[in-house]
Amino acid sequence: QVRLAEAGGGVAQLGGSLRLSCIASGRDSSNNNMAWYRQGAEKAREMVATMTPSGRADYRDAVKGRFTISRDLANNAVYLQMDNLKLADTAVYYCNLAVPGWDYWGQGIQVTVLP
């Protein structure tokens, strides 16, 4: 059974930083893309950042220059360093593991940015 365990969310002040982590178990993720998505209140889930096994990263425009995705392939982990947080970053963040024909999701972790 594949499980994605997220950690590191919480509350930050405007302009502050948080670091999210996600550890995959039950499957080797080293050959698959991993990503972070988020869903704000009454909004659709959106891709925040994604990284291929070779280390190529893509970001949504709103977080470019502020967020950094990284992976530890040996430990089936993906991280999201979030700096210069904005109020609009408040959302539930989800870890994603994409394998052919299926997406695995974490349970979600709340990130709240306060003014």
27 pLDDT higher than 90: no
109 pLDDT higher than 90: yes
Note whether 60 and 48 are within 8 A (CB).
yes
Q: Rounded to 5 degrees, what angle do the CA atoms 43, 110, 51 make?
A: 80
* Angstrom distances, CA of residue 58 to CA of 33, 42, 88, 110: 11, 25, 19, 22
- List, for residues 67-98, the tens digit of each pLDDT value: 999 999 999 999 999 999 999 999 999 999 99
30 pLDDT higher than 90: no
Higher-confidence residue of 79 and 31: namely 79
Note whether 111 and 8 are within 8 A (CB).
no
